[in-house]
Amino acid sequence: MNINKGNKMNTLIVNKKLNDKIVIHKVEAPASTTVLKSTWSIRKVKLENYRFVKAPENYIPKVGDVAGVKVLKVANHSRIYSSENKYVQLYKDDVIFGVLGYRYASDAFHADTIDINNLHLLTNAGLIGTVRDKHSSISEPTRLKLIGVFVNNNSSEILNLKTEFFKRKRINSAYPPVILIIGTGMNSGKTTTAARLGRSLIEKGIKTAILKVTGSVSQRDLFEFESTGVNYTADFSDYGFPSTYMCNQDELTGLFSIMLEDTIPTQPDVVIVEIADGILQRETQMLLKTDIVRNSCIGVVLTAPCSCSALTLAEKVKQLNYSPIAVTGTITNSPLFMQEFTQYDTTPVLDTQTSRDQFVELIKAKINTTVKL
């Protein structure tokens, strides 16, 4: 990767070769302590194939653009995950490489615009956008300043992750059976449930894939899936999406279909698909109303923090003509919440640790019924 000498930037990016891989090492500039830090969000990009240039005067940012930003003030996110999976401290005047996008996080930041004159760090994986509002428990976002973008070495085309990695495929009519994990909102136990179920299923000899189809780029969930040892894992960011917030129907349908198609070579008996955020969220509703999701889904596992929210979730899912297999998540921390729920709904409430065998049998029954059909 080279700095474009015609853009009046006075820094020089130095590349080092480490284990046959080009990595960004540092910025050399007179009397400067600036350090370049490449984030996990752009882990799939070979930056040596691109030039880093000052953003054009008429630059209009697009979701998925890879950008270089200077840290103006370290606040909420004081560390980032690097492209090499290292948890790196941030300092004022550091330059980080990340991806522009939006974020929908009811327990954290809400960012639905990209104002290049007012940028913030939205996740520690390197998602960059402009915060509109935030949860009251969250401190102010780390503030950033745009300094440049990446363009192809052989053209002036700006590097965009969605353009680079989202290749639409045909919609296959013979997808593996899907179990959806749907929650009331953030932190209801969706990722933990997906991981524990995946582990329980493979321990019983059931070939399993785990996908996260919506959300905001973060390494944590994907790492948790990979640690289970299931046959295949992926999330939306593998396909160039910094987040799925504000995506249109065609994008969501195309993403769901290509992610399912990519599981087929591993021949899974079942695919567990986590849908991020909650049942009321825009993209969740859009996906659940599509034919491809309806036709591939054999059942839904619900996650909720309490009995009242679980009842609402179960009702909403049934209204969309999906079949709940069980309720789980943080509700299982409270025997009283579990008891309250069962007084009003017949869907079993199961703990993914203490009721593993029961969970597996319910899912096996769904799989076997589908195969017979």
In tens digits, the chain (373 residues) has pLDDT values of 444 434 444 443 444 443 444 444 333 343 345 678 999 999 999 988 999 999 988 999 999 999 999 999 999 999 999 999 999 999 999 999 999 999 999 999 999 999 999 999 999 999 999 999 999 999 999 999 999 999 998 888 999 999 999 987 666 668 899 999 999 999 999 999 999 999 999 999 999 999 999 999 999 999 999 999 999 999 999 999 999 999 999 999 999 999 999 999 999 999 999 999 999 999 999 999 999 999 999 999 999 999 999 999 999 999 999 999 999 999 999 999 999 999 999 999 999 999 999 999 999 999 998 754 3
Q: Are 137 and 190 part of one and the same domain?
A: no
Domain count, the chain: 2
Q: Are 133 and 189 part of one and the same domain?
A: no
Q: Are 204 and 330 part of one and the same domain?
A: yes
Q: What is the pLDDT of residue 73?
A: 98
Q: Is position 172 within any domain?
A: no
- Cβ–Cβ under 8 Å, residues 63 and 162: yes
Q: What is the pLDDT of residue 43?
A: 97
Q: Are 117 and 19 part of one and the same domain?
A: yes
Q: How many CB atoms lie within 10 A of CB 311?
A: 18
Residue 70 CB partners (closer than 8 Å, separation 6+):
34, 93, 94, 95, 144, 145, 147
Residue ending a domain, among 160, 186, 208, is 160
Q: Are 281 and 203 part of one and the same domain?
A: yes
Residue 195 CB partners (closer than 8 Å, separation 6+):
210, 224, 225, 227, 228
Partners of 266 in beta bridges: none
3-class DSSP state of 289 = coil
Q: What is the pLDDT of residue 296?
A: 95
Q: Is position 166 within any domain?
A: no
Burial class (CB in 10 A: 0-12, 13-18, 19+), 25: middle
Residue 252's CATH number: 3.40.50.300
Q: Are 33 and 111 part of one and the same domain?
A: yes
Residue 353 CB partners (closer than 8 Å, separation 6+):
196
Q: Are 125 and 190 part of one and the same domain?
A: no
Residue ending a domain, among 100, 130, 160, is 160
* Of the candidates 200, 155, 230, 133, the residue with the CA atom closest to the CA atom of residue 362: 200
Q: What is the pLDDT of residue 174?
A: 81
Q: Is position 168 within any domain?
A: no
Q: Is position 127 within any domain?
A: yes
Q: Is position 134 within any domain?
A: yes
Q: What is the pLDDT of residue 110?
A: 98
Residue ending a domain, among 90, 125, 160, is 160
* Of the candidates 25, 26, 7, the residue with the CA atom closest to the CA atom of residue 17: 25
* Of the candidates 288, 266, 128, the residue with the CA atom closest to the CA atom of residue 213: 288
Q: Is position 13 within any domain?
A: yes
Q: What is the pLDDT of residue 245?
A: 98
Q: Are 193 and 270 part of one and the same domain?
A: yes
- Cβ–Cβ under 8 Å, residues 370 and 179: no
Q: Are 278 and 311 part of one and the same domain?
A: yes
Distance, in Å, from the CA atom of 140 to the CA atom of 78, rounded to the nearest integer, reads 11
* Of the candidates 267, 276, 177, the residue with the CA atom closest to the CA atom of residue 231: 267
Q: Is position 316 within any domain?
A: yes
Q: Are 190 and 156 part of one and the same domain?
A: no
Supply φ then ψ for residue 365, to 5 degrees: -60, -40
* Of the candidates 298, 273, 277, 267, the residue with the CA atom closest to the CA atom of residue 198: 273
Q: Are 106 and 217 part of one and the same domain?
A: no
3-class DSSP state of 243 = strand
Q: Are 152 and 280 part of one and the same domain?
A: no
Q: Is position 182 within any domain?
A: yes
Residue-number span of the structural domain to which 118 is assigned: 2-160
Q: How many CB atoms lie within 10 A of CB 263?
A: 24
Q: What is the pLDDT of residue 22?
A: 41
Give me 17's structure tokens: 């070769």
